[in-house]
Amino acid sequence: SGAISMGVWVMIANVNGFVNMITWYGDALNRAPIWCDVSVKLRLGFEVGRLASVMCIARFLADIVSPRATAITRRDRRQRAIFDYTISFGVPLATMACHIVYQPNRFSIVRNVGCSPTSLMSWPTLVLRTIWPPVFAIIAVLYSTYTVYRLVRHRRNFGRVVAGAHSALTTTRFIRLAALSFSYLAIGVPLTVYSTIGNIRSSARYLEFSWRYVHSS
């Protein structure tokens, strides 16, 4: 479920970026305002959704190698899927919906990039948008670190450890899923930190939140 969620968000991000790049290649004219209204919300969603999905993958792998792991039943799979989809889609959807709280105008348009969300730096911006990608990235790194520790410690019995959970994963599938998770974290975490710092710097000075001031335009 975590891998499926990640695939969905990556697809949405690629389609969204491709349409924006093609539509606003070489200019920044407001030629598709309705699309921009949708595009900025999707961008807020996949900023959080991709890392939330990777966190779910990392959590699943950590559970597999945990010494407390038991045989995974149908009920366990259903509960895990509910949790993964709630985190991977529920939190991003909430982030998209809450954008209206700190959104000073509908969108901005950047040449060769397209539609971009706008915000003023205040406590709702930090709590409802900025904080979530780093939080999911840190949690995913902690789960992944634990997984690596367990694999190094039990490298000789690695196949038996994976098989002991009675999941659908074979040793090969586990390695592939772990490689996907670790590779994305190796790239995604530095980019997330860089993007978060960039968003804070580009938002100018911190302002005390005022609904009337934010929505005055």
CA dihedral 137, 10, 47, 84 (to 10 degrees): -60
Place of tokens 């911190």: 206
* Parent domain of 166: 2-215
CATH code assigned at 57 = 1.20.1070
Alpha-carbon 25 to chain mean position: 27
- The percent of residues in the chain predicted with pLDDT above 70, rounded, is 87
Q: Return the pLDDT at 185.
A: 78
| Whether residue 142 has pLDDT greater than 80 | yes
Kindly report, residue by residue over 162-217, the tens digit of the pLDDT: 655 555 666 777 777 778 778 877 887 788 788 777 777 766 667 777 777 777 76
SS3 205: coil
Structure confidence by residue, pLDDT tens digits, 25-56: 988 899 899 999 999 999 999 999 999 999 99
Per the structure, how many domains does the chain have? 1
Task: With cut-offs at 50, 70 and 90, classify the pLDDT of residue 72.
Answer: low
User: Which residue is it, tokens 């993007």?
Assistant: 195
**Residue 61: CB atoms within 10 Å:** 25
